[in-house]
Amino acid sequence: MAQERTGAATFKGNPLTLLGPELKIGDQAPDFKLQKNLLEAATLQDFAGKVKLISVVPSLDTGVCDAQTRRFNQEADSLGDQVVVLTVSVDLPFAQARWCGAAGIDRVLTLSDYKDHSFGEAYGVFIKEFHLDHRAIFVIDQNDKIAYVEYLSEMSEHPDYDQAIAAVKKLV
């Protein structure tokens, strides 16, 4: 059973319960199984040897999530080939693909946590009340150690984009 962190975050001031541990800088990044599409999964090992910027959003079809994904897509151009930028949400894979096509997203890989929520629970972002993943940013180095983490205290706020990008640039 996943650890419950009651009141670890809020949505419009209302307390939320996050399932899973609160990861810290220096922790080994947990493995995950996320869906690329309905038949094909991705794991942490698929990105071995690369710096990973993982942007977690509740749903791409909301304003802040849309802006967050677009911002990291724009930033991805300047990060180089040793960096992979992933956006994780519980949106279905075909909804993610539709959104990316409509938004012109071509540098960020969207992955879905809809099936078994393994990412959400392993990274401590699964919202018990909504069955969505809470907004967070993780930067993981080439050896799968967490180099930067930001759990947003309020789900509707933007992350610190500049800090996340600076953390990535320190590793490449």
pLDDT score of 50 = 98
Is 100 a known active-site residue? no
Residue spans of the domains in the chain: they are 2-168
The pairs formed by 68-76 with CB atoms below 8 angstroms and a separation of 24 or more are: 68/135, 68/158, 68/159, 68/161, 69/103, 69/105, 69/108, 69/110, 70/103, 70/105, 71/161, 72/108, 72/161, 73/105, 73/106, 73/107, 73/108, 74/107, 75/161, 75/165, 76/107, 76/108
Q: Which of 23, 60, 65, 164 is catalytic?
A: 65
Name which CATH class applies to 2-168: alpha beta
pTM listed for this prediction: 0.97
Per-residue pLDDT of the chain (172 residues; tens, 9 = 90+): 679 999 999 999 999 999 999 999 999 999 999 999 989 999 999 999 999 999 999 999 999 999 999 999 999 989 999 999 999 999 999 999 999 999 999 999 999 999 999 999 999 999 999 999 999 999 999 999 999 999 999 999 999 999 999 999 999 9
